Amino acid sequence: SAVISQKPSRDICQRGTSLTIQCQVDSQVTMMFWYRQQPGQSLTLIATANQGSEATYESGFVIDKFPISRPNLTFSTLTVSNMSPEDSSIYLCSAGTEVAFFGQGTRLTVV
């Protein structure tokens, strides 16, 4: 099993600013995933992050808005850039391709 520590757990941010979310895994994992969950909706995959390569973004998500870093096999960050109220969501990181492990989520409110 793996334990994923995600922070911050929540934040309230001003529009136009950026927030970086961090995920630390207690073991080495090849692939990490970043998801967004808008209010009342299910999870939507933003991008897949492999160590040592550019993240792969899903349709509707771009690197300029959601830059991702994956400097090693235990850590990744997602930045939500130039935020607007529409970015208010829960953001989750995940790891594991067999059993799915998730971080605790970051509840972001943009005002």
Partner 1 sequence: KNEVEQSPQNLTAQEGEFITINCSYSVGISALHWLQQHPGGGIVSLFMLSSGKKKHGRLIATINIQEKHSSLHITASHPRDSAVYICAVRSLQGAQKLVFGQGTRLTINP
Does position 107 interact with partner 1 (CB under 8 A)? The reply is: yes
What whole-number distance in Å separates Cα of residue 68 and Cα of residue 62? 10
Does position 42 interact with partner 1 (CB under 8 A)? The reply is: yes
Report the DSSP pairing between strands 106-110 and 10-13: parallel
Among 45, 77, 79, 88, binds partner 1 (CB under 8 A): 45
What x/- string results for residues 87 through 106 when contact with partner 1 is judged by CB under 8 A? ---x-x-x--xxxxxxxxxx
Query: What is the Cα 46 distance to its own chain's centre?
Result: 8
Minimum CB separation of residue 41 from partner 1 in Å reads 8
**Other CB atoms closer than 10 Å to residue 63's CB: what's the count?**
12
Query: What is the Cα 69 distance to its own chain's centre?
Result: 10
Does position 109 interact with partner 1 (CB under 8 A)? The reply is: no
* Interface residue list for partner 1 (CB under 8 A): 9, 31, 33, 37, 41-45, 48, 90, 92, 94, 97-107
